[in-house]
Amino acid sequence: MTAPTGHLHYPAPPRPIVEPDHPLPRFAGTEPCRTRPDDYFPTHYNHDRSEVRAAVLACRVCPQQNPCLAWALANPHLAPTGIWGATTPAERTALRRLVNASASSPR
Ligand code: SF4
């Protein structure tokens, strides 16, 4: 049995869609990021920080998560910072690399 590492493990994010024309979701205005925008633009994006964990977990139950993440992945120039679709900027960069690598690898 291995000792717990102390890191939280989140469910795997949905399969990303990287389409440049993916539209910004139509927000209802009640999403957590709309009502508490400062929580979604922390000074540091470490998951050990309670405010980052809270924002990510709120995204995970947001009905806009999939289109929000798809938009943020497709528009890095418009979403260089912030938590979008339960991801940090570094996680989006990693997801884009994965998607691009899988798209260019032979099947
Ligand atoms: S998934 Fe997108 S719309 Fe929903 S709370 Fe997170 S950042 Fe806001």
Could you write out the three-class secondary structure of the chain?
CCCCCCCCCCCCCCCCCCCCCCCCCCCCCCCHHHHCHHHHCCCCCCCCCHHHHHHHHHHHCCCCHHHHHHHHHHCCCCCCCCCECCECHHHHHHHHHHHHHHHHCCC
Domain count, the chain: 1
Query: Does some domain include residue 97?
Result: yes
Query: Does some domain include residue 25?
Result: no
Ligand 1 center to 63 CA (angstroms):
8
Query: Does some domain include residue 91?
Result: yes
pLDDT tens column, 47-85:
899 999 999 999 999 999 999 999 999 889 889 999 999
Q: For residue 29, is pLDDT > 60?
A: yes
On whether the pTM is more than 0.75, the answer is: yes
Q: For residue 23, is pLDDT > 70?
A: yes
Query: Does some domain include residue 71?
Result: yes
Give the residue numbers spanning the domain of 80. 32-104
Mean pLDDT across 2-14 = 49
The pLDDT confidence band at residue 8, using thresholds 50, 70 and 90, is low
Q: Within 6 Å (CB) of ligand 1, which residues are found?
A: 31-33, 40, 58-59, 62, 64-65, 68, 83-85
Which residue minimizes the CA distance to atom 6 of ligand 1?
Answer: 59
